[in-house]
Structure 1
Amino acid sequence: MAMTTNKTHCFICNKDKITYPCEGCSQRFCLMDLTKHRQILNNELNHIINDYKQFKHRFTEQKPNPRDLSLIDQINQWEIDSIDKIKQRAKNCREIITASLQTCMNDIKMKFNELNKQLKQIKNENEFNEINLNYLRNELIKIREELNNSSIMSIEQDSQSFINEISIISLEKKPKFKKWKQNAVTMAGGKGQGQKLNQLHSPRAIFIDKKKNVFIADNDNNRIVEWKCNAEEGQIIADRNEQGNGMKHPTDVIVNQQTH
Structure 2
Amino acid sequence: MTMANNKTQCFICNKKKPTYTCEGCSQRFCLMDLTKHRQILNNELDQITNEYNQFKQEINEQQLNTHDLSLLDEINQWEIDSIEKIKQKAEDCREIVVKSSRTYIGKKFNNLREQIEQIHEGNEFNETNLEYLRNQLMKVTQDFYNSSNVSIQQDSKPFINEISVISLTKPTFNKWKQNAITIAGGIGYGEQLNQLRGPQGIFIDKNKNIFIADGENHRIVEWKH
TM-score (norm 2): 0.55
Bigger relative contact order, structure 1 or 2 (CA pairs below 8 A, ≥6 apart): 2
Give the conservation status (yes or no) of the 8 Å contact 2:105–2:143.
no
What 5-or-longer segments of structure 2 have no aligned partner? 185-225
Give the conservation status (yes or no) of the 8 Å contact 1:10–1:16.
yes
Q: Distance in 2 between matches of 1:17 and 1:115?
A: 126
RMSD over aligned CA atoms reads 4.5
State whether structure 2 residue 162 is matched by structure 1 residue 165.
yes
CA positional deviation for 1:22: 6.5
The aligned residue for residue 52 of structure 1 is 52
Larger radius of gyration: 1
Q: Percent of counterpart pairs with the same letter? A: 49
User: For residue 153 of structure 2, what is the amino acid of its counterpart?
Assistant: E
Q: Distance in 2 between matches of 1:52 and 1:176?
A: 15
The aligned residue for residue 254 of structure 1 is none
CA deviations on 1:53-100 (whole Å, 9 max, x unpaired) are: 652574466322111111110111001111111121112112212221
CA deviations on 1:192-238 (whole Å, 9 max, x unpaired) are: xxxxxxxxxxx9679xxxxxxxxxxxxxxxxxxxxxxxxxxxxxxxx
Normalized per residue, the structure richer in helix is: 2
What 5-or-longer segments of structure 1 have no aligned partner? 1-5, 181-202, 207-260
CA positional deviation for 1:46: 5.7
- Pairing 1:37-186 to 2, within 5 Å after superposition: 37-38=37-38, 40-42=40-42, 44-45=44-45, 47-48=47-48, 51-52=51-52, 55=55, 58-59=58-59, 62-121=62-121, 124-125=123-124, 133=128, 137=131, 141=135, 144-150=138-144, 151-152=147-148, 153-175=150-172
Q: Distance in 1 between matches of 2:131 and 2:173?
A: 80
SS at match of 1:18: strand
Cα 1:62/1:141, change in 2 over 3 Å: same
User: For residue 163 of structure 2, what is the amino acid of its counterpart?
Assistant: I
Give the conservation status (yes or no) of the 8 Å contact 2:19–2:31.
yes
TM-score (norm 1): 0.49
